Every structure is written in structure tokens, then in C-alpha cells.
């Protein structure tokens, strides 16, 4: 009985502390360039993630802790953009509130996919 408990306890602890899986992915060079061009901000100053629900939706937040030169672009929060056409990226949402906007603005599944890391 003790042996079974000793083997089971680490497994239960591992399952209880595992971080939630994230379905978003890293951007391609083209996607990264489109987002940085749309905002006129160097790509190195942004943390960009692409939704796996729909590759047309992207989240971006500022990475001002990594480079000193990025501090002038610094902001708190997250932005959801929609990549449209070949070169455009349009901001749909920008803010630090984790409550989802209207489903007409950002689809619910996309919102959950892109804000999982930021909102928890």
C-alpha cells in the first residue's frame, strides 16, 4: 500500500501543477513583418503569437524588458489584429482588460486561443 501511494503521489502532483496548453503558434517572418509594419514598431519590440483557430488573427504585446530601445514604444496590455490582404493588419482590440469584446469584433474561439498566455 505504501509503495503504491509513493508511486502515485508524484504523478498526482505533476498533473495538478501542469501549465495549461497553449494552442497559439509563433509567427512566420512574413507575419512578423506585417504586424510590425502595421504598427510602425520594430519587430524585436513585440511578442507576437498567431492563432491556430484562424491564421488571420494575431496577438501582439510589447517586449520592452528585452531591449532598452523598445521602451519608447512600451505599453501595457495586448492587441488582437486581423491580417487582411497581402500587407495590411488591422487592430481589432487593444487593452489590458481580459474580458472578451463582442464576438463581432473578435470571435470567441480566437480570443481564448490568443489570450490564454496573457490572461491565464
- The 10s digit of each residue's pLDDT in 101-112 is 877 888 999 988
Residue 6 banded pLDDT, cuts 50, 70, 90: low
Q: What is the pTM of this model?
A: 0.73
Max avg pLDDT among 39-43, 69-73, 74-78: 39-43
Nearest to 23 by CA among 92, 85, 98, 109: 109
Tell me the average pLDDT across 65-78. Answer: 80
E-only strand ranges, the chain:
46-50, 57-62, 78-84, 88-95
Bridge partner list, 89: 83
Calpha distance 97→101 (Å, rounded): 9
- Sketch the domain layout of the chain as residue ranges: 24-119
Tell me the average pLDDT across 79-103. Answer: 83
Q: Are 117 and 19 in contact (CB under 8 A)?
A: no
Amino acid at each position: 500500500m505504501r509503495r503504491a501511494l509513493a508511486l502515485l503521489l508524484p504523478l498526482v502532483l505533476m498533473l495538478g501543477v501542469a501549465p495549461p496548453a497553449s494552442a497559439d503558434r509563433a509567427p512566420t517572418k512574413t507575419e512578423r513583418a506585417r504586424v510590425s509594419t502595421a504598427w510602425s514598431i520594430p519587430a524585436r519590440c513585440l511578442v507576437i503569437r498567431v492563432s491556430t483557430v484562424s491564421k488571420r488573427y494575431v496577438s501582439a504585446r510589447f517586449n520592452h524588458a528585452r531591449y532598452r530601445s523598445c521602451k519608447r514604444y512600451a505599453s501595457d496590455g495586448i492587441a488582437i489584429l486581423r491580417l487582411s490582404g497581402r500587407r495590411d493588419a488591422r487592430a481589432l482590440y487593444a487593452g489590458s482588460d481580459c474580458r472578451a469584446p463582442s464576438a463581432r469584433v473578435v470571435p470567441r474561439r480566437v480570443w481564448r486561443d490568443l489570450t490564454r498566455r496573457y490572461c491565464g
